[in-house]
Every structure is written in structure tokens, then in C-alpha cells.
Amino acid sequence: MTPAGSIDDIVIAFDRLDADERPKFSDAEDRAWLWAAQKKGRAEYYEQFDGIEAILRWILSAVEHERGGYLPEQIEGELVVQSRTFDFRALPELSKRIAQDKYDYFVGRWNAGDFFYPNAYPVPHRFRPKRVLDFGAGYGRQLNLWSQRVPGLVYAALDAIRRPYLSQSLYFQRSGLPVFEYVLDPSAFSISERPGVYHLPAWRWDLIPDNFFDVVLAIFVLPELHPATLKRTLAQFLRVLKPGGALFIRDHGLLIRGANNLDIADVLRKSGFVLEFRPYVRAQLNAADSTADIRGVPRIWRKQHPDIKVVDEPV
């Protein structure tokens, strides 16, 4: 485990690596796109970071969107309670800013869905997710239920943007789990089978081993990538996923075109992924739509396994 450091230490370390290391490991077009995309008011790009307030604002922004009641209540209820218990313990400031019922309805259900879908139905033992890569990890919320529901979890989070990365660092520090933070000691960082949280900048794909992860999470992130970045990222997903590993996506797909204006599903098929799950639902496309089934349509894609012939896909 990397040495413990205050969030101030992590801020200083990240900024130093952002200036000195990022240009060596990332593409110029990616950096140019990222700079152009930074707009005040967009949580995922705005550079201001003011510690716990940054996380609280992010969580509280969830009440702006109806989430829909897609999951059965008997499944959703237990997950919502677990989500709230984790967050109110890790973030005691949160309980003073949001009532339990509002947390449960807007935040807890959001977390419950994103855990439930990748674990919703039986799969062979070799495909059961115990190693999770969270790409574009927001403030790190996926750790909440995954760490409680999956014994011995290996969870890695990647982000290239300053504000989310620092928010994740703080959230992870408060989780009570072992945290391996790249920016505090880059030379000693490595991802292994040891359970815990592995946190590193998205320009260090080279530190992620081949055929290692059972599932990659990409929630409201792929449509926002530069087209070239998207194709490189999907190539990395294929590299780091085990054969038969899952890619869980939740976004609006073609219903709302993202920044890259690409048909993500078409790119995934051409990259070698096979679609496994996509619900037939009415998606919420704006905050005022309370009649929708769900906000962001979940899908599961699989990295093809050489020994498995998939029905309805070209052999």
C-alpha cells in the first residue's frame, strides 16, 4: 500500500505529474481535446477542487434527475440501504445535507442499478466479477456497493481529469479500504491480486496488466471521448479484460449524441465485443421527464472468448 498522505499531498503530487508526466504518456490530440472541453459548470471538467465540498456537490446534483424505478423493489431496497450506510459513514457531512429518503430515492437507486446490472444473472464461475476497472470513475461511487458485495474485491479506478481524480482520492481514503494511490509513489505502484483500491491516472494504461480484469465499468463516459481516444480506449479495454470479460456501459447511446458523435455500438462490434444485454426501456432524456423507466440505458458487452461460439454473431 502506498504511503498515507493528506488530500493536500495528493493535490500537489497530481499537479506535478500532470505537468511533468502526462505529456510523456498521453497523445497531444487527447490533451488538446481535454483542454477545449473544460467548461465552468460541468462537473466532469471543471478544475476547481475544494475537498469534501466537491464530492458533496456531485452527490447532491443527483437530485436534479429522476432515476426511474426499473429494478424490483425487493432487490433494490437492500442495495439502497447498503449504499446509504456506506456513504453516510464515509461522508458524515452528507447526512447533514440530504435526508435519508432523498438519498435513497436519487443516489441509492443510482448506485443500486449500476451494481445490479453487471451481476444480475448467472454466469460461469470463471466470469464472476471480482476484479473491476472503473474508467472515468466520477467521484468513485462504484466502490461503494462493489466493495461491500464482492469479497476480496480488486478495484481499480482511472481518470485523466483533475477534479474527478482528486474527488476519487478523497472518497477512496474515506472508504476504510486499503488504497494504492499512484500519484503518491509512482515508482512503487503496481496492480496485483491483493484486494484493495488501485488508483491511477488514465495516461498510465501501461501499468495495467493484460487479461486481468473481469469487468470494465464505463458510465456516461465513452460518448464524451475524442474519436481517436475512444478507439484507443476500447483497444485497452480488450487488452486488460480477460477473455469473456464484461464491459458495462450506461449512457444515452444514439438517443443523445455525445461529443464524439459516434455510434459506440458499431465501434464496439468492430473492436471485437459482443452485445450480451440491453433492456427495452423508455430512457430519460431530460431532467423533467418523470415518466421514463430509467436514466441512461445499461448494456453489457463481452470480450469474445476464443472457445465460445456466440449465437447470432458471425463466427
- In order, the DSSP letters of 63-131 are GGS-----S-HHHHHHHHHHHHHHHHHH-TTGGGTS-HHHIIIIIIHHHHHHHHGGGSS---GGGS--E
pLDDT at 95 over 80: yes
pLDDT reported for residue 106: 92
Q: Among the residues of 135-194, which ranges form H helices?
A: 143-149, 162-173
Q: Which strands sit side by side in the sheet containing 273-277, from one edge to the other?
A: 179-181, 196-201, 154-159, 131-135, 213-219, 241-251, 297-303, 273-277
Tens of pLDDT, residue by residue over 147-175, are 999 999 999 999 998 999 999 999 999 99
The candidate with the shortest Cα–Cα distance to 254, out of 272, 266, 242, is: 266
pLDDT reported for residue 43: 46
**What global pTM score does this model have?**
0.93
User: Poorest-confidence range of 38-47, 216-225, 249-258, 303-312?
Assistant: 38-47
The C-alpha angle 155, 41, 68, rounded to 5 degrees, equals: 60
- Total count of residues recorded for the chain: 315
pLDDT reported for residue 159: 95
Q: What is the mean pLDDT of the chain?
A: 89
Question: What are the structural domain ranges in the chain?
Answer: 7-303
| pLDDT confidence bin for 39, thresholds 50/70/90 | low
Q: Of residues 1 and 298, which shows the higher confidence score?
A: 298
CATH number belonging to the domain at 7-303, selected among 3.40.50.880, 1.10.10.10, 3.40.50.300, 3.40.50.150: 3.40.50.150
Tell me, what amino acid is at 245? G
| pLDDT confidence bin for 313, thresholds 50/70/90 | low
Q: Of residues 244 and 44, which shows the higher confidence score?
A: 244
